[in-house]
């Protein structure tokens, strides 16, 4: 099976599309011949028809095309002549409604391009059940939609004592409680850093010894140690598909405090150390204090064990087979 993955994740941008590059390797291990195709920046409208034509011509050599993002990537990939599916990862579904006027207008364009591209795809993959509902509500797409979150490397992200993790980071002398802001880019308006700072400041009034850390500038290899070294992860995003940073924290048994995005509320209902609340800094601060004052959790990893990279690769392989040979899949299901 030969599959083309068009994407616009530049390797020159730190942490851009790391999950996709890792998953591509896992797909090859389950027997899928994945070819990554970097479209380049698609912010210039004049480039879209040229890239679309390029993908159309390339597609004749492949069994299917799997666009790795919505918006412009999905739009140009919809020109493929073979079977098509698209993965929507979060902001490409509804765009952004925060930040500057330019950011909000850009978010509206993103949403419209995704909407325009969707009818061309036989299958759509989303990251969470919440995204499946939003896809139906805002884009009217209900059929052939599958929830397949990005996989996580459970070998790299493992539980480790905070002391040992900090020693490996060269910070073993620091015994203060850490609150880790879940963003690789501290200025990203979608992540609402000002809300995170406000929540931390309120929590620090009661626990002045706590320290706010950020993932900004950290490599993906370093992130695993930072997740194990921190006491609680703080996520204040406006929207998320299924935030990889939360998966990574859970894999290390690190609790999270988050705004109500993705399917995180389903986990928080089961875990006293985790909190999902409104974008109220006082409520977020309460969650931080609850995580710091409660017992250290030891079973959070169970929530992401079904999301290992190998498991997700096998799920995608099955969907590829279903898309290419639906009658055979139906016959097998009927026989079973």
Q: How does pLDDT run across 239-252, given as a tens digit for each residue?
A: 999 999 999 999 99
State how far the Cα of 294 lies from the Cα of 290, in Å rounded to an integer: 6
Cα 39 from Cα 51, distance rounded (Å)? 7
All residues at 6 or more sequence positions from 78 whose CB lies less than 8 Å from its CB, including other chains = 52, 67, 84, 117, 120, 121
Contact (CB, 8 A) for 199 and 285: yes
> Which carries the bigger pLDDT value, residue 105 or residue 51?
51
* pLDDT of residue 188 exceeding 90: no
pLDDT at 315: 98
- What pLDDT score was predicted for residue 333? 43
13 DSSP 8-state letter: S
Largest CA distance in the chain: 64
Is position 269 within any domain? Answer: yes
pLDDT of residue 15: 67
Band (pLDDT 50/70/90 cuts) for residue 275 is very high
DSSP secondary structure letter of residue 277: E
* Whether 50 and 186 share a structural domain: no
For residue 329, name the pLDDT band (cuts at 50, 70, 90).
Answer: very low
- Are residue 288 and residue 321 in the same domain, yes or no? no
Confidence of residue 24 (pLDDT cuts 50, 70, 90): very high
Coil/strand/helix, residue 308: strand
Residues 169 and 60 grouped into a single domain: no
- Cβ atoms of 294 and 273 closer than 8 Å: yes
Global pTM reads 0.92
Token pair for 36:
């990554």
Paired tokens of 206: 């009661």
Per DSSP, the residues of 174-222 read --S-EEEE--SSTT-GGG-HHHHHHHHHHHHHH-TT-EEEE-TT--HHH
Can you list the alpha helix ranges (DSSP code H) found in the chain? 18-29, 48-58, 71-77, 91-94, 101-117, 129-139, 162-168, 193-206, 220-229, 244-251, 264-268, 281-293, 309-324, 326-335
178 and 143, same domain (yes or no): no
Same-domain status, 181 and 247: yes
Quick check: 234 pLDDT over 60? yes
What three-state secondary structure class fits 87? Answer: strand
**In the block, residue with structure tokens 């998320």:** 240
Is 318 found in the same domain as 302? no
Is the pLDDT confidence value at 335 over 50? no
Q: What is the pLDDT of residue 332?
A: 40
CATH number at residue 44: 3.40.50.2000
Number of domains in the chain: 2
Q: Which domain range does residue 142 map to? A: 2-151+308-335
How far apart CA 11 and CA 23 sit, in angstroms, is 15
- Measured CA to CA, the distance from residue 243 to residue 128 in angstroms comes to 10
Residues 221 and 138 placed together within one structural domain of the fold: no
Query: Is 86's pLDDT higher than 90?
Result: yes
pLDDT in tens, 133-167: 999 999 999 999 999 999 999 999 999 999 999 99
Q: Do residues 313 and 302 share a domain?
A: no
| 196 domain residue, yes or no | yes
- 74-88, 102-116, 264-278: the lowest-pLDDT one: 102-116
* 142 and 195 together in one domain: no
Q: Is residue 100 a part of any domain in this protein?
A: yes
Angle between the 326-335 and 309-324 helix axes, to the nearest 10 degrees? 110
Q: 306 near 242, Cβ under 8 Å?
A: no
Same domain assignment for residues 90 and 129: yes
What is the pLDDT confidence band of residue 336, given thresholds at 50, 70 and 90?
very low
Confidence category of residue 220, pLDDT binned at 50, 70, 90: confident
pLDDT at 27 over 80: yes
Residues 167 and 145 both lie in one domain:
no
For the chain, give the mean pLDDT.
93
Contacts with 222 (C-beta within 8 Å, 6 or more apart), sequence order: 169
| Same structural domain, 139 and 39 | yes
């Amino acid at each position: 099976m030969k599959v083309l993955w068009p994407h616009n994740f530049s390797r020159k941008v730190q942490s851009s599309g790391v999950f996709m590059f890792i998953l591509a390797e896992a797909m090859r291990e389950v027997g899928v011949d994945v070819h990554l195709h970097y479209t380049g920046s698609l912010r210039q409208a004049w480039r879209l028809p040229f890239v679309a034509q390029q993908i159309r011509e390339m597609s004749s050599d492949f069994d299917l095309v799997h666009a790795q993002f919505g918006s412009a990537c999905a739009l140009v990939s919809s020109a493929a002549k073979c079977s098509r599916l698209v993965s929507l990862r979060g902001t490409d579904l509804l765009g952004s409604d925060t930040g500057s006027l330019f950011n909000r207008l850009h978010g509206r364009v993103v949403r419209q391009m995704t909407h325009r591209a969707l009818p061309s795809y036989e299958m759509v993959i989303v990251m969470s059940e919440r995204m499946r509902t939003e896809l139906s509500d805002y884009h009217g797409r209900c059929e052939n939609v599958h929830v397949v979150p990005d996989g996580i490397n459970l070998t790299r992200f493992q539980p480790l004592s905070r002391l040992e993790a900090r020693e490996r980071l060269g910070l073993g002398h620091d015994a203060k409680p850490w609150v880790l802001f879940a963003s690789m880019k501290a200025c990203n308006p979608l992540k609402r850093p000002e809300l995170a700072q406000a929540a931390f400041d309120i929590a620090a009034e009661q626990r002045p010894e706590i320290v706010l850390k950020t993932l900004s500038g950290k490599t993906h290899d370093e992130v695993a140690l930072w997740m194990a070294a921190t006491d609680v992860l703080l996520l204040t995003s406006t929207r998320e598909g299924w935030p990889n940073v939360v998966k990574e924290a859970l894999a290390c048994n690190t609790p999270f405090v988050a705004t109500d995005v993705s399917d995180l509320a389903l986990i928080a209902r089961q875990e006293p150390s985790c909190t999902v609340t409104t974008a109220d800094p006082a409520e977020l601060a309460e969650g931080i204090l609850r995580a710091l004052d409660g017992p250290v959790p030891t079973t959070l990893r169970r929530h992401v064990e079904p999301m290992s990279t190998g498991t997700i690769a096998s799920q995608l392989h099955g969907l590829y087979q279903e898309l290419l040979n639906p009658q055979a899949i139906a016959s097998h299901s009927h026989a079973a």
